Structure formats: structure tokens, C-alpha cells
Amino acid sequence: MTLLVQYTLIFASVLILVALGGCFAEHSGVINLGLEGTMLVGAMGGALTMRYLTDKLPTFALILLVILISMAAGALYCSLLAVASINLKADQTIVGTALNMLGIAGVTVVVKAINTAANPDDVSSVINYGAAREKFLVKLGDFEFSWFMLVTLILLIAAYVILYKTKFGLRMMACGEHPQAAASVGINVFKMRWAGVLISGAYGGLGGIVFIMAGASEWRFEYGVAGFGFLSLAVMIFGQWKPQRIALAGLLFGLFRALSNVYSSFDFLAKMDIPSPVYNMLPYIISLIVLAFTSKSSQAPKAEGIPYDKGMR
């Protein structure tokens, strides 16, 4: 049971962070389908930081730097989405799909180049961060507490406060509901949408490093992130674009994902003799069922995916 709770919380942390990222982008009026690529770029930034700076920094400084670099890498990568979708008014679905394809190919090439430069015989896309991973964990009896769980809680609260308790957040949501009306009262829609996309990238990049460190001491980047970017979008939709509901949806989906890691430790599940791939598919099957029943009643921002044109009324 302890392992189930532990894995549920860490996978839920990933889903909540990335879903909140998608939430910020869509509340500003931009659909960010490039979360998979964003997660990989953020994960690479954090993993390289751990690879080269683990022995040179104290624990707190390392944790803080990994978080900041992962978020910065994700935000920088999403600036491509902002330029294409906001400034150039490109189709946001196509741009997001392209960013996912570019993300996995780009990080694989970069990591292979770094490994080859260090060792000509090493042409892998693997980054080992095992020594640093332990610094992110605290033993509480049989439970391994990850500092990322606390960071996720803090950023979840921050997302709620920003969106509903600040002028910035309310203006951003206005740009996702009716950008022309927002512009008529002096709100710069372009800036608000840029802000939403960059925040989306920061949350997504952090979700990437949390994902690859969930249970491994190294990551082969050509494997991608197992569809967690799209699963996070399902969490966002199920959570109705509201941080508090996204948190509950993330815990539910995280539970189903955690079962694939620990089902063998439960006698009644082990006796059922269900193949492990079935447990791996559970969160994706659940997401299809949830979306089928909730899509009609979804309360998405009305102007999401629609390029802003000053001349439209």
C-alpha cells in the first residue's frame, strides 16, 4: 500500500503540473498540444544539470537549479509555439504536433551529440542522473518522499491564486473567453497569450523532469514520455480547466498509472493473472472513457485555438 501511495503521488505530480501548463495556455486562448515535446526538453535540461553539477552544488542549490532550468527550458521551447500561433496566426493543432515531433527528435540528437563528444564510442541517448536522484528523496519509514511532491503542491496553489485572485490571471482568462472585449478595455491580448504559453512551457518542462525521475536513475530520451503529455490534457479536460479539479483528476489518473508498477504486490490482483500491459493501458483507457462522457459538458475557454485578430468583432 505504501508503494501504491508513493507512485500515485509522484505520477499525479507529473499529470497535475503538465495539465496546469495546458490550463494556462488555454485560458489565454492558445491550445498547447506540444506538451510531450515540452516535457522532453525540460527533462533534458534538468537531467544535464544533474549530470554535470551534482558534485559541485549543495543539495538545496541543486534541487532549486534543476527546477529552474527545467522550467526555463520548457518555457523557451514553448516560445516557438507562441511565435507561430500568436504572432504568425498558424494553426495551433499543427504547430503543437510539430513541436512534439521536433521535441523527441531534437533532444535525442542533442543528447547523442553530448555523449559522443565525451566518449566517441557512446552513441546512446541516455543521461544517467542516479547520484543526484537520491538528493530529491527523503526516507520516511517505508515511504520515499520526493521534494517534487511539495513543489507540485506549491505550484498548484500558485496556479489557483494567479488565475482567480490576481488581475493578471483574470485578464488572461478574459483573453481566452473574449479577446476583443478584453482589448477594448486596454488589455494587450498578445502579451497575455504570450504569458500564458510561457507559463505553460514552464509547468510542462518541470513535469518532464519529474516524470523521468519517477522510478529510474537514467533515461533514454528516444523513448519519449509515454504519452503523458496527452494524458495530462485529458486530466485538464476532466478537471474542467480548474486547478482544484485538475488536482483531483491527476490523483485519480495517477492511481491507475501507479497500479502498473505495484499490482504484483497485491495478492488479489496477482491472482487474477492479468497481463502487465493491461495495467499499463489503464490510464489511457480511463481517459478515453472519461472524455467520451464529459466532452459534451466541458467548459473550455470560448476563444481557445482561435488566432486573435484586432479587426474582428
* Share above pLDDT 90 across residues of the chain, in percent, rounded to a whole number: 75
Q: Beta 143-146 vs 137-140: how paired, if at all?
A: antiparallel
Asked if residue 31 is part of any domain, the answer here is yes
Q: Which domain holds residue 207?
A: 2-297
Whose CA is closest to 40, among 85, 99, 91, 95? 99
313 part of a folded domain? no
pLDDT at 263: 67
Judge whether 66 and 232 are in contact, CB under 8 Å: no
For residue 168, being part of any structural domain is answered with yes
pLDDT at 3: 83
Q: pLDDT confidence of 280, banded at 50, 70, 90?
A: confident
241 lies in a domain?
A: yes
17-75, pLDDT tens digit by residue? 999 999 999 999 999 999 999 999 999 999 999 999 998 999 999 999 999 999 999 99
What span, in angstroms and rounded, lies between the C-alpha atoms of 37 and 99? Answer: 6
Q: Does the model's pTM come out above 0.75? A: yes
Residue 153 scores a pLDDT above 70: yes
Residue 255 has pLDDT above 80, yes or no: yes
Residues 246 and 279: their CA atoms lie apart, in Å, by 22
Least confident interval from 66-75, 132-141, 174-183: 132-141
* 257: in domain: yes
CB 75 within 8 A of CB 198: yes
Instruction: Give CA–CA dist 281/285, Å, rounded.
Output: 6
Annotate 163-199 with three-state secondary structure. HHHCHHHHHHHHHHHCHHHHHHCCCCHHHHHHHHHHH
State the burial class of residue 97 (Cβ atoms within 10 Å of its Cβ: 0-12, 13-18, 19+): middle
200-223 b/e with 16+ CB inside 10 Å = b?
Answer: bbbbbbbbbbbbbbbeeeebebbe
Q: How many residues does the chain have?
A: 313
Of the candidates 208, 147, 198, 159, which has an alpha carbon nearest to the alpha carbon of residue 18? 208
pLDDT of residue 136: 94
How many domains does the structure of the chain reveal?
1
Is 57 part of any domain? yes
Instruction: Please enumerate in sequence order all residues whose Cβ is within 8 A of that of 191, keeping only pairs 6 or more positions apart, or say none.
Output: none
| 309 occurs within a structural domain | no
According to DSSP, the residues that pair with 220 across neighbouring strands are: 126
Q: Is residue 166 part of a domain?
A: yes
Question: Domain of 168: which CATH number?
Answer: 1.10.3470
CA atoms within 13 A on the CB side of 172: 28
The answer to whether 82 and 30 are in contact (CB under 8 A) is: yes
